[in-house]
C-alpha cells in the first residue's frame, strides 16, 4: 500500500521510523513533505534516507515542492496528514484532507483541528467516495479508543464517555498532589521536562481535552457537537489547598472530560475522585472509560502522546485500511 506523509515533525518522523523498522508491513512511502520541501517517487522512497536528510538539512526533500504538489501528483493510496493543529480553522490540514478524499484517497490523520471542526462533512465525503477516514491518533495517543467505539464494542450503546485526555494537566495535578508543589511550580517542571508547551494555554485551560471530547462524542453519537457546546474549566486556578482538602478525604483531583447525551452533558472540569478510581492515573498518562449498555464500564489507559506512541495509532489505522479496502479489492 502506497502512502504519502504530510508533516515531518515528531509524529511524521515516528511514522517513517516504523516504516524503516518494519518493511514487512508492506507500507511503501511514495511522497513526503514538510513546510518547505517535498519528495515524490511512485517507485518508493527509502524512509531512512528521508529521516537522515531531515536531520542533517532540516528539509526532507526538494525545496519548494509542497503538500499541494503531492496531492496533485496523487501517487498514493493513503494520505497520512500530520501537520500542526489549528483549532480555529483546521487549516491547512482541512483542505488537504478534503482534497485527498474528493480525489478518492483514504486519509489517516493525527490532527485534531479538522476532525473536531468538520467530522460530519469529512465522514460524508469519505462515504460518498468509498474511502476511509481514520483518526485514532487524534485522541489518547497510543490508546485504541476510537477502534473500541467503532469496532471492539460493536453492538453496544454508549451511555457516557469519561476520560483524562490531557497528559500535561495530569502531570501537573500528579505533582501538585504528590509533592505539594504549587500550580506554577508544577507547570515550570512540566515545561522543563518537555511535557508542556512554551504557551500552555490550550492544555491548562482544558481546551485540548475539550477538542478531544468533541471528537469522541461525534464518533460515538454523531451529534455534530462543537467546541462551543462544551462547558470548560481548566486547572490554571487550582490551588494546593484544594488538593490538600481532597487528600484529607483520601481523594485527589483530576481534569475530567465527560460526555453523556442521556444526561445532556458535555464538559471538561477538575473533579474530586477517590484515589482508587480507575481514572486516577499518574503523570502524563491518559485514560478513557466507555460506559456501555452491554459491556458495562470499559477503561483503557496508556500513553497519550509521543512520537512512537502516536505512530502506533497511525500505523494501526493504515493496516486497518489495507485489510478492509486494499487486499479485499
Ligand X SMILES: NC(=O)c1ccc[n+]([C@@H]2O[C@H](COP(=O)([O-])OP(=O)(O)OC[C@H]3O[C@@H](n4cnc5c(N)ncnc54)[C@H](OP(=O)(O)O)[C@@H]3O)[C@@H](O)[C@H]2O)c1
Interaction residues for ligand X, span 282-311 (CB under 6 A): 305-306, 310
CB closer to ligand X out of 137 and 243: 137
Q: Cell triple for residue 135?
A: 483518526
Applying CB under 6 A, does 84 fall inside the site for ligand X? yes
Name the segment binding ligand X (CB under 6 A); options: 31-39, 149-157, 169-177, 254-262: 31-39
Q: Which three cell numbers stand for residue 113?
A: 483541528
List residues with catalytic annotation: 212
Q: Is 146 in the site for ligand X (CB under 6 A)?
A: no
Find the DSSP H helices in the chain: 10-21, 47-57, 67-73, 93-102, 112-129, 145-147, 167-179, 183-192, 201-204, 207-221, 240-248, 307-321
Full DSSP string of 297-320: EEEEEEE---HHHHHHHHHHHHHH
Stretch that binds ligand X, among 7-15, 41-49, 170-178, 230-238 (CB under 6 A): 7-15
Give 287's contacts (C-beta < 8 A, 6+ positions apart): 143, 163, 164, 278, 279, 281, 299, 300, 301, 302
For 14, which DSSP code?
A: H
Nearer to ligand X, 82 or 243 (CB): 82
Least distance between ligand X and beta carbon 245 (Å)? 33
List the one residue from 51, 82, 146, 246 that touches ligand X (CB under 6 A).
82
**Chain centroid, CA 91 distance in Å:** 16
3-state class of 258 per DSSP? strand
- Confirm or reject binding of residue 6 to ligand X (CB under 6 A): yes
Minimum CB separation from ligand X for residue 174, in Å?
18
**How many helices (H) and strands (E) would you count in the chain?**
12, 13
Q: Which residue in the set 27, 50, 85, 210 belongs to the binding site for ligand X (CB under 6 A)?
A: 85
Residue range at the interface with ligand X (CB under 6 A); choices 8-16, 157-165, 220-228, 293-301: 8-16
Where do contacts with ligand X occur on this chain (CB under 6 A)?
6-12, 33-36, 67, 82-85, 92, 110-112, 137, 141, 305-306, 310
Amino acid at each position: 500500500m502506497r502512502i504519502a506523509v504530510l508533516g515531518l515533525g515528531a509524529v511524521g518522523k515516528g511514522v517513517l521510523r516504523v516504516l524503516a523498522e518494519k518493511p514487512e508491513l508492506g507500507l511503501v512511502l511514495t511522497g513526503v513533505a514538510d513546510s518547505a520541501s517535498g519528495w515524490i517517487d511512485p517507485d518508493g522512497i527509502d524512509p531512512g534516507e528521508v529521516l537522515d536528510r531531515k536531520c542533517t538539512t532540516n528539509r526532507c526533500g526538494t525545496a519548494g515542492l509542497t503538500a499541494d504538489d503531492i496531492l496533485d501528483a496523487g501517487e498514493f493510496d493513503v494520505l497520512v496528514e500530520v501537520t500542526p493543529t489549528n483549532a480555529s480553522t483546521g487549516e491547512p490540514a482541512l483542505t488537504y484532507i478534503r482534497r485527498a478524499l474528493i480525489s478518492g484517497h483514504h486519509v489517516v490523520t493525527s490532527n485534531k483541528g479538522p476532525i473536531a471542526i468538520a467530522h460530519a462533512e469529512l465522514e460524508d465525503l469519505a462515504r460518498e467516495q468509498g474511502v476511509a477516514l481514520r483518526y485514532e491518533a487524534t485522541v489518547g495517543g497510543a490508546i485504541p479508543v476510537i477502534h473500541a467505539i467503532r469496532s471492539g464494542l460493536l453492538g453496544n450503546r454508549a451511555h457516557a464517555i469519561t476520560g483524562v485526555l490531557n497528559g500535561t494537566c495530569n502531570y501537573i495535578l500528579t505533582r501538585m498532589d504528590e509533592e505539594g508543589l504549587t500550580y506554577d511550580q508544577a507547570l515550570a517542571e512540566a515545561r522543563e521536562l518537555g511535557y508542556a508547551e512554551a504557551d500552555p494555554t490550550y492544555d491548562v485551560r482544558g481546551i485540548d481535552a475539550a477538542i478531544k471530547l468533541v471528537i469522541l462524542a461525534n464518533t460515538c453519537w454523531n451529534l455534530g457537537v462543537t467546541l462551543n457546546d462544551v462547558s470548560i474549566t481548566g486547572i490554571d486556578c487550582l490551588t494546593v489547598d484544594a488538593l490538600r482538602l481532597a487528600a484529607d478525604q483520601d481523594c485527589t483531583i483530576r481534569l475530567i472530560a465527560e460526555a453523556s447525551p442521556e444526561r445532556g452533558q458535555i464538559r471538561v472540569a477538575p473533579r474530586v475522585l477517590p484515589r482508587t478510581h480507575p481514572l486516577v492515573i499518574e503523570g502524563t498518562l491518559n485514560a478513557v472509560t466507555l460506559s456501555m449498555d452491554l459491556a458495562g464500564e470499559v477503561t483503557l489507559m496508556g500513553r497519550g502522546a509521543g512520537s512512537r506512541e502516536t505512530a502506533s495509532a497511525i500505523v494501526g489505522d493504515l493496516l486497518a485500511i489495507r485489510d478492509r479496502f486494499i487486499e479485499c479489492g
